[in-house]
């Protein structure tokens, strides 16, 4: 499919008069064709108007019909074949196998949400029947369910050109809930975005959906991003990226005349606590596992373990980890901005008082940086120094971590209490360790969305129970997750119908329950077709 | 019980050195004893520290134990007997019968949430079992459930001295979810607040709960409110009150170093659409019903119908409504600030171009205002004038409404599209009208939390399905409700446990499901004790 470098605004293509941007291959350090064109503010308004119009239709389609749309998108993305894979590799420097796997995850996510809305119980339908005889006042008939928010803006993520970009998790869950979506492509992978955007457009068009159900815009700067979040037709947003970017957009979203929910997934150091029994019995496998997690995707995961707290005899463990990291070849990062941020953050950390640089040579870091690459780095410090130096609490996006030596349980607790919000925390130890450190778990639970036992935080399972969220700055809204089934809840709100006649109620709330969904009726969870789903 | 005028900080009483405030009886226009004392910023910090400490215990109590606490509070509130009723009447000028009913609702709400957490399924427990054999990577065991946010600040509401104040809906739902609560008493009813606060304190103390589970603070100005919302230990807030107050606190909540969810229920005009068939067949009962809803509680309900859109022959209806409103005696308002705001807002509306004042005399309004009372007012305008004058879109808190004459369906739609967010919208008509106006319903659905058919918005049923929420400015977060079972969800967030051993999992997530709650296991809703709850 020939790329044209233009925005996709409903069923038409954008203008070519805006500021230009081009993709850059971080592995070859070459610019890629074609030239992309920033969307104009007029085009932002057009996309928003189209989305607003589309909402009145798309928002009322049945879950089963929206499921067809999601599955069609998945097919269309698959049909892009190697062209998509090659372009995504070229724009991200991520390995071929990783991009193939990410494509698999992307289409699985679309089908996962299709299954959820096909089944339909996610809408949390509730019915309280009337009681006209109740004293002192009659009881009305009250029914409610989750309904879509309205047009949603989704920001492509540099580190997931497929699974968290144009047809990624935010888009899939926003569509699933019944919302039109406007995606702002990430400047790092405009071609990947265009290919996937055209796939969504074609799926919508083939199914006769209103054109405004989807648009894809480009932005060489920040103007389009700001305008989208501020636009009165936009009713929510999803973002995965840096803390500064997320916080800036969040501020726009919350200070609009009508504030809107804005889900920014931003920054996380994903602490790993290694307890004495783990160090004693399996320091080598721990070092290997941690090395894999720290360097996976050149450290460019939001769940990358950026701080490791050890207590007990960790000399062997740290040596093994240091050896593995120093043997790690530099790897190309996603783009120049990320590699230069990594380079300067590592260089800055090397200057911190009371921080020992175990792995990292200034020359190696700089040489890698000049090639848009990252060279792994390992730091060490003690509890007191870590507690005192807040720069050590922040994420460095890339293949680096810091070991914090804790003297015992009191140190562990103090470190846990000092942590900012995170996506994950991990404990390595025995079952007894978990019991003995119940207070530590209790503190961590208030700081993170997911606690792992004897695992590594990278690799986020897409399933009903997953929580990929956490208190600020991990995300802007700790009540939500951007991965897993609950992600759909971000883009819906409850609406209540009082004393409505059956004919005017949504199908989900009609007494007969022909959809066979699980509902809370008169305070009891029931579904007519009980056998279909329950044991 | 002798009132002392001091804050309640855990199990001790506050100092008496702060700025003073006294309750005022709006009916007799006399100040009431005792003198109340603003909490100091030190006391704010003490209450927050105590709440933080209490959270580590209270947050882990079983739902069944927290239910005992809620029920004990209900008993203690009932045990306050006539002393509470009399004080609340004196501080609010609300009629005795209303306060008794409100006390009934308050204790019912406490028991309603007790039942919900006793049963336990609200935590949305989800289990995805491991599959170690899965290719290419093993599937981990992932389980998650809703957990409490942490210490919550609740602001007492002037118009519900019991049901939305110290032991009201916000407090009940925050406690139910497992959060300590700090209440800031409303300056209008400090004595009512103290009585109820002591009831909660005694319930907590008798059950041996950590003292920080509850505190009650006072504020003669705004300093304590601001400090509470900004305090790092506070993880969420609930507020019912004015748009300016709610927006100010919301800004503090969202611009803290760690932004927190803040649920402000603020401002709503609750449009009522009266369609031709309704006017034709029952204009008299409509006028009576609307009159009752507009003047109920001297118009001091958030669901007060502040704009009535008619289409068709409404001359009889408007005359009847005008007659009823002009015969309505002035009633004492909740406090001086509210009555003077009402007086000036009505006076201002009387000056608007193209607005006809049907009921309201300048002298009567002013005379009532001087006595802390409100005299009912009725305005009329046409669609074009209403659309052009945004002051007419805002709430006037009190017994007044404005009739907007619409020429037909196009006008109705245009008005609906122009509305800000509201708690409710109401349609009066026939079942056919609902069908014929599906586009109107679709627009209203995006603007409100609850749509009523042939009813009146005042009188909010406390039940599983109720939604008392809506887009800004009705509330600060359209994804939530402050009345009904879903209110508990405001104060919880999902937490995920990956590969945890059974012994370290919360009971709700242990495989055996001894609690018998409904869970989503492997993508299917099941509960071991299926017979107990399902049909």
Q: Of B102, B194, B211, B302, which is the active-site residue?
A: B302
Percent of chain A scoring above 70 in pLDDT: 99
Closest approach of chain B CAs to the CA of A64, in angstroms?
A: 18
The answer to whether residues B280 and B249 belong to one domain is: no
Q: Taking CA atoms, what residue in A is nearest to B60?
A: A442
CA pair distance A161, A195, nearest whole angstrom: 11
CATH number at residue B67: 3.40.605.10
With a cut of 50, list the residues of chain B below it in pLDDT.
529-535
Spatial CA neighbour of B204 closest among B52, B76, B60, B62? B76
pLDDT, one tens digit per residue, over A173-207 is 999 999 999 999 999 999 999 999 999 999 999 99
Among B408, B429, B453, give the residue marking a domain's end. Answer: B453
Write the secondary structure of B198-265 as one string of H (helix), E (strand) and C (coil). HHHHHHHHHCCCCHHHEEEECCCCCHHHHHHHHCCCCCEEEEECCHHHHHHHHHHHHHCCCCCCEEEE
Q: How many CB pairs under 8 A join A and B?
A: 238
Domain-located, residue A464: no
Per-residue model confidence (pLDDT) at position B388: 97
The answer to whether residues A223 and A368 belong to one domain is: no
The answer to whether residues A203 and A345 belong to one domain is: no
CA pair distance B295, B464, nearest whole angstrom: 28
Domain-located, residue B465: no
Per-residue model confidence (pLDDT) at position B528: 60
Structure tokens at A266: 């931003």
Residue A159 predicted with pLDDT over 70: yes
pTM of the model: 0.97
Task: Supply angle C-alpha B106, B122, B486, rounded to 5.
Answer: 50
**A526 to chain B: which residues are within 8 Å by CB?**
534-535
pLDDT, one tens digit per residue, over A478-515 is 999 999 999 999 999 999 999 999 999 999 999 999 99
Instruction: Provide the chain B residues 503-532 that lie in CB contact (below 8 A) with chain A.
Output: 503-504, 518, 520, 522-527, 530
Residue A528 — very low, low, confident or very high, per pLDDT cuts 50/70/90? low
Per-residue model confidence (pLDDT) at position B534: 39
Among B218, B250, B265, give the residue marking a domain's end. Answer: B265
Q: Taking CA atoms, what residue in B is nearest to A257?
A: B472
Domain-located, residue A217: yes
Query: Where on the phi/psi map is residue A338: left (φ > 0), alpha (ψ -120 to 50), or beta?
Result: alpha
> Strand, helix or coil at A12?
strand
Per-residue model confidence (pLDDT) at position A1: 72
Per-residue model confidence (pLDDT) at position B2: 87
What phi and psi values does residue B298 have, to the nearest 5 degrees?
A: 50, 40
The answer to whether residues A210 and A299 belong to one domain is: no
pLDDT, one tens digit per residue, over A432-473 is 999 999 999 999 999 999 999 999 999 999 999 999 999 999
Closest approach of chain B CAs to the CA of A21, in angstroms?
A: 33
Q: How far apart are the first and last CA of chain A?
A: 48
A298 near A341, Cβ under 8 Å? no
The answer to whether residues A430 and A347 belong to one domain is: yes
The answer to whether residues A289 and A421 belong to one domain is: yes
Closest approach of chain A CAs to the CA of B278, in angstroms?
A: 15
Judge whether A354 is closer than 8 Å to chain B, CB to CB. Answer: no
Task: Supply angle C-alpha B58, B64, B70, rounded to 5.
Answer: 70
Domain-located, residue A171: yes
Residue-wise DSSP of B389-442: -GGGGS---SSEEEEEEE-SHHHHHHHHHH----SEEEEES-HHHHHHTHHHHH
CB-CB under 8 Å, A530 with B455: no
The answer to whether residues B200 and B132 belong to one domain is: yes
CA pair distance A53, A233, nearest whole angstrom: 10
pLDDT, one tens digit per residue, over A264-292 is 999 999 999 999 999 999 999 999 999 99
Domain-located, residue B118: yes
> Strand, helix or coil at A179?
coil
* ipTM > 0.90 (yes/no): yes
Question: E strand or H helix at B51, and its extent?
Answer: helix B41-58
CB-CB under 8 Å, A431 with B503: yes
Give me the domain span that covers residue B403: 272-453
Residues whose CB falls within 8 Å of the CB of residue A49, separated by 6 or more in sequence, listed in order: A212, A233
Structure tokens at B336: 């001086």
The answer to whether residues B321 and B386 belong to one domain is: yes
> Strand, helix or coil at A55?
helix
Domain-located, residue B503: no
What phi and psi values does residue B517 have, to the nearest 5 degrees?
A: -85, 160
Please say whether the dihedral angle defined by the alpha carbons of residues B434, B436, B440 and B446, taken in this order, is positive or negative: positive
Question: E strand or H helix at A21, and its extent?
Answer: strand A20-21
Judge whether A356 is closer than 8 Å to chain B, CB to CB. Answer: no
Q: Of B211, B265, B395, B420, which is the active-site residue?
A: B265
Residue A43 predicted with pLDDT over 90: yes
Domain-located, residue B512: no
CA pair distance B202, B79, nearest whole angstrom: 12
Considering its fold, how many domains does chain B have in total? 2
Q: Is A442 exposed, middle or buried (0-12, 13-18, 19+ CB in 10 A)?
A: middle
Closest approach of chain A CAs to the CA of B509, in angstroms?
A: 11
**Average model confidence (pLDDT) across chain A:** 96
Judge whether B351 is closer than 8 Å to chain A, CB to CB. Answer: no
Domain-located, residue A496: no
The answer to whether residues A118 and A50 belong to one domain is: yes
CB-CB under 8 Å, A495 with B56: no
Judge whether A465 is closer than 8 Å to chain B, CB to CB. Answer: yes
CA pair distance A106, A88, nearest whole angstrom: 13
Of the candidates B453, B467, B503, which has its C-beta nearest A500's C-beta? B453
Judge whether A272 is closer than 8 Å to chain B, CB to CB. Answer: no
**Residues of A with active-site annotation:** 265, 302
The answer to whether residues B205 and B59 belong to one domain is: yes
Cα–Cα distances in Å, from B336 out to B5, B92, B164, B165, B194? 21, 11, 20, 19, 21
The answer to whether residues A506 and A392 belong to one domain is: no
Q: Is A356 exposed, middle or buried (0-12, 13-18, 19+ CB in 10 A)?
A: middle
Mark out the alpha helices in A296-361 (DSSP H runs): 315-326, 336-350
**B498 to chain A: which residues are within 8 Å by CB?**
450-453, 455
Residue A530 predicted with pLDDT over 60: no
Per-residue model confidence (pLDDT) at position B533: 42
Of the candidates A439, A442, A479, which has its C-beta nearest B261's C-beta? A479
The answer to whether residues B203 and B284 belong to one domain is: no
Instruction: Provide the chain B residues 292-321 that lie in CB contact (below 8 A) with chain A.
Output: none
State mean pLDDT over A383-389.
Answer: 98
Of the candidates A434, A496, A524, which has its C-beta nearest B466's C-beta? A496
A531 near A189, Cβ under 8 Å? no
Among B391, B422, B453, give the residue marking a domain's end. Answer: B453
CATH number at residue A400: 3.40.309.10
Of the candidates A60, A471, A501, which has its C-beta nearest B453's C-beta? A501
Residue A531 predicted with pLDDT over 50: no
CA pair distance A202, A88, nearest whole angstrom: 20
């Amino acid at each position: 499919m020939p790329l044209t470098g233009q925005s996709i605004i409903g069923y038409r293509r954008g203008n070519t008069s805006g500021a230009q941007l081009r993709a850059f291959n971080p592995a070859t350090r070459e610019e890629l064709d074609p030239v992309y064109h920033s969307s104009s503010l007029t085009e932002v308004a057009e996309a928003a108007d189209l989305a607003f119009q589309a909402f009145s239709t798309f928002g009322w389609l049945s879950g089963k019909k929206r499921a067809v749309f999601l599955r069609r998108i998945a097919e269309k993305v698959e049909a892009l074949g190697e062209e998509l894979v090659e372009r995504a590799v070229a724009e991200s420097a991520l390995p071929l196998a990783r991009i193939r796997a990410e494509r698999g995850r992307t289409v699985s996510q679309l089908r996962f949400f299709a299954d959820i809305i096909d089944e339909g119980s996610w809408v949390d339908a509730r019915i309280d029947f009337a009681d006209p005889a109740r004293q002192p006042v009659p009881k009305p008939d009250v029914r409610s369910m989750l309904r879509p928010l309205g047009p949603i803006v989704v920001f492509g993520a540099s580190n997931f050109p497929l699974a968290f970009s144009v047809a990624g998790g935010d888009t899939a869950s926003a569509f699933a809930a019944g919302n039109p979506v406007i995606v702002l492509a990430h400047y790092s992978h405009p071609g990947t975005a265009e290919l996937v955007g055209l796939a969504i457009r074609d799926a919508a068009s083939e199914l006769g959906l209103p054109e405004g159900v989807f648009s894809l815009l480009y932005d060489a700067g920040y103007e389009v991003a700001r305008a989208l979040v501020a636009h009165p037709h936009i009713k929510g947003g999803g973002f995965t990226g840096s803390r500064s970017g997320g916080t800036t957009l969040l501020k726009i979203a919350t200070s609009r005349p009508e504030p809107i929910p804005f889900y920014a997934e931003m920054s996380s150091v994903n602490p790993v606590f290694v307890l004495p029994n783990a160090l004693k019995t399996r320091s080598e496998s721990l070092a290997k596992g941690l090395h894999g997690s720290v360097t996976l995707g050149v450290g460019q995961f939001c769940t990358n373990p950026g701080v490791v707290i050890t207590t007990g005899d960790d000399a062997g463990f740290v040596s093994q980890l240091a050896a593995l990291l120093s043997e790690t070849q530099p790897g190309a990062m996603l783009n120049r901005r990320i590699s230069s941020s990594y380079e300067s953050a590592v260089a800055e950390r090397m200057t911190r008082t009371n921080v020992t640089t175990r792995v990292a040579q200034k020359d190696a870091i700089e040489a890698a940086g000049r090639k848009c690459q990252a060279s792994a780095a390992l730091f060490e410090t003690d509890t007191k120094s870590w507690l005192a130096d807040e720069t050590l609490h922040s994420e460095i996006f890339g293949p680096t971590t810091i070991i914090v030596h804790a003297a015992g349980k009191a140190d562990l607790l103090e470190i846990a209490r000092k942590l900012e919000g995170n996506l994950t925390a991990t404990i390595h130890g025995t079952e007894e360790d978990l019991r003995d450190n119940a207070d530590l778990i209790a503190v961590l639970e208030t700081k993170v969305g997911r606690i792992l036992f004897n695992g590594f935080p990278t690799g986020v399972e897409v399933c009903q129970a997953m929580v990929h969220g956490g208190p600020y700055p991990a995300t802007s809204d700790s009540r939500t997750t951007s991965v897993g089934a609950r992600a759909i809840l971000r883009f819906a709100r409850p609406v209540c119908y009082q004393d409505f006649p059956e004919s005017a109620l949504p199908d989900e709330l009609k007494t007969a329950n022909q959809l066979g969904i699980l509902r809370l009726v008169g305070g009891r969870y029931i579904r007519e077709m009980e056998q279909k789903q329950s044991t």
